[in-house]
Amino acid sequence: MTYARARLWLGISNVGFFVVLSVLALWLDLPHRFLAGRTAPFVLAVALASYILISFPFDVFGGYLLPVWHQRTSLSLPVFLVAWLRGVLSQGLLMGFCGYAILLAGSYAGTAASIA
């Protein structure tokens, strides 16, 4: 399998995995069971942490293992993990700030402000 096709299949698998996992979580009512009565910032933090943990294997395969297997990089695993952590922290902070801004907009101005 070519490098491009392997990356494509990994991306498709990642999206499919998240869709199936989300459907199962909603079907089993997991958000209500585990997060009922929690504050919105806590739920947002749990969602972001879950996203990061679930994405980690796909990030390692797509960002480190596939390029190494196809001789696209000579990056060592510790160097990759430091770069991955830097990217995760910046993306997580940005997503967290945006999510919290949406929560604040909704609490002060209603659902229409959250959607806008």
* pLDDT at position 75: 86
DSSP the chain: --HHHHHHHHHHHHHHHHHHHHHHHHHTTHHHHHHTT--HHHHHHHHHHHHHHHHHHHHHIIIIIHHHHTTS----HHHHHHHHHHHHHHHHHHHHHHHHHHHHHHHHH-HHHHH-
Q: Is residue 66 within 8 Å of 6, Cβ to Cβ?
A: yes
pTM of the model: 0.82
Mean pLDDT computed over 93-111: 90
Mean pLDDT computed over every residue of the chain: 92
With CA atoms as reference, report the closest residue to 99 among 45, 35, 49, 30.
Answer: 45
Convert the pLDDT of each residue in 18-30 to its tens digit: 999 999 999 999 9
pLDDT band at 109 (very low <50, low <70, confident <90, very high): confident
For 17, 36, 69, 89, the CA distances from 101, given in Å and listed in that order, are 28, 21, 41, 18
pLDDT of 116 higher than 90: no
pLDDT of 50 higher than 90: yes
pLDDT band at 94 (very low <50, low <70, confident <90, very high): very high
pLDDT band at 74 (very low <50, low <70, confident <90, very high): confident
